[in-house]
């Protein structure tokens, strides 16, 4: 059975088409317009599909097309999950957060896991005893760089640096890069250390678009790196619901 997963993020849309037992074909699309995504979906064959979206638009045309093709899930607070969800306000829980947690949990062999998802926001997602607990949210790397520019009179708007970050900045941009990048890495390591103290042996996963960049500045060996845990989680939710249906 060929399965399709779609993750509609704040800036980009990612898809995964499962063509074999564990083989995925990944695609990435800009969020505007929807037509490029729909054109791709119409060009492939699949037996069931699932979609998660955190963007402001509702992908009406895509949803209608997927619905017309057969079994289709649009993830919402009422979707059946392979993990128990003990989040106090599930109706406010971003679908990317719970699906990412499921993906990291599955990638780590269904162990207790802390997922650090480095995207527009930093999402810290915690699963223990097959129960999703919640975690933390903080500004992501680009948000931190933009905030320094937007809320001051003279600081420049920096892109994510493409050169090595020095602890001691020797210029304004160097100081901003040190504070944003290394400060964020120390935050990540601080959360990881606290979780490790409370839950010894917990698995750690680093994911998201900025994960490869940030991973260069984190202590070696703390995290397993996997960029596509949300898509993996979506696939697990889809399989779980297909099995319940059959």
Measured CA to CA, the distance from residue 68 to residue 60 in angstroms comes to: 12
Question: 195 by DSSP, 3-state: which?
Answer: helix
Does the annotation mark 32 as catalytic?
A: no
Question: Coil, helix or strand for 225?
Answer: strand
Cβ–Cβ contacts within 10 Å for residue 35, how many? 11
Q: In what order do the strands lie in the sheet with 224-225?
A: 84-85, 131-139, 121-128, 113-118, 203-207, 224-225
State the distance between the two ends of the chain, measured CA to CA, in whole angstroms. Answer: 14
Q: How many angstroms separate the Cα of 41 from the Cα of each of 36, 38, 134, 228, 232? A: 9, 5, 33, 19, 18
d(CA 140, CA 49): 30
Beta strands 113-118 and 48-53 are unpaired
Contact 61, 34 (CB under 8 A): yes
Q: Identify the active-site residue in 47, 76, 96, 112.
A: 96
- Token readout for 226 is 């996997």
The residues annotated as belonging to the active site are 96
């Amino acid at each position: 059975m060929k399965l399709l997963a779609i993750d509609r993020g704040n800036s980009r849309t990612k898809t995964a088409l499962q063509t074999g037992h564990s083989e995925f074909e990944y695609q990435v699309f800009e969020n505007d317009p929807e037509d490029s995504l729909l054109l791709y979906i119409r060009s492939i064959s699949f037996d069931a599909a699932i979609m998660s979206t955190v963007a402001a638009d509702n992908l009406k045309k895509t949803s209608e097309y997927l619905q017309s093709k057969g079994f289709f899930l649009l993830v919402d607070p009422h979707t059946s999950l392979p993990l128990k969800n003990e989040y106090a306000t599930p109706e406010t829980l971003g679908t990317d957060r719970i699906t990412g947690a499921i993906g990291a949990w599955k990638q780590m062999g269904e162990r207790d896991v802390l997922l650090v998802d480095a995207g527009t926001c930093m999402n810290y997602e915690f699963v223990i005893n097959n129960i999703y607990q919640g975690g933390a949210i903080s500004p992501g790397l680009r948000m931190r760089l933009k905030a320094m520019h937007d809320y001051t009179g003279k600081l420049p708007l920096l892109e994510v640096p493409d050169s090595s970050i020095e602890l001691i900045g020797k210029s304004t941009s160097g100081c901003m890069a040190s504070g944003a990048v290394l400060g964020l890495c120390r935050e990540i390591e601080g959360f990881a250390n606290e979780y490790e103290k409370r839950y010894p042996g917990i698995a750690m996963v680093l994911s998201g678009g900025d994960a490869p960049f940030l991973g260069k500045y984190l202590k070696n060996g703390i995290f397993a790196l996997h960029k596509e845990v949300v898509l993996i989680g979506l696939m697990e939710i889809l399989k779980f619901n297909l099995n319940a249906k059959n």
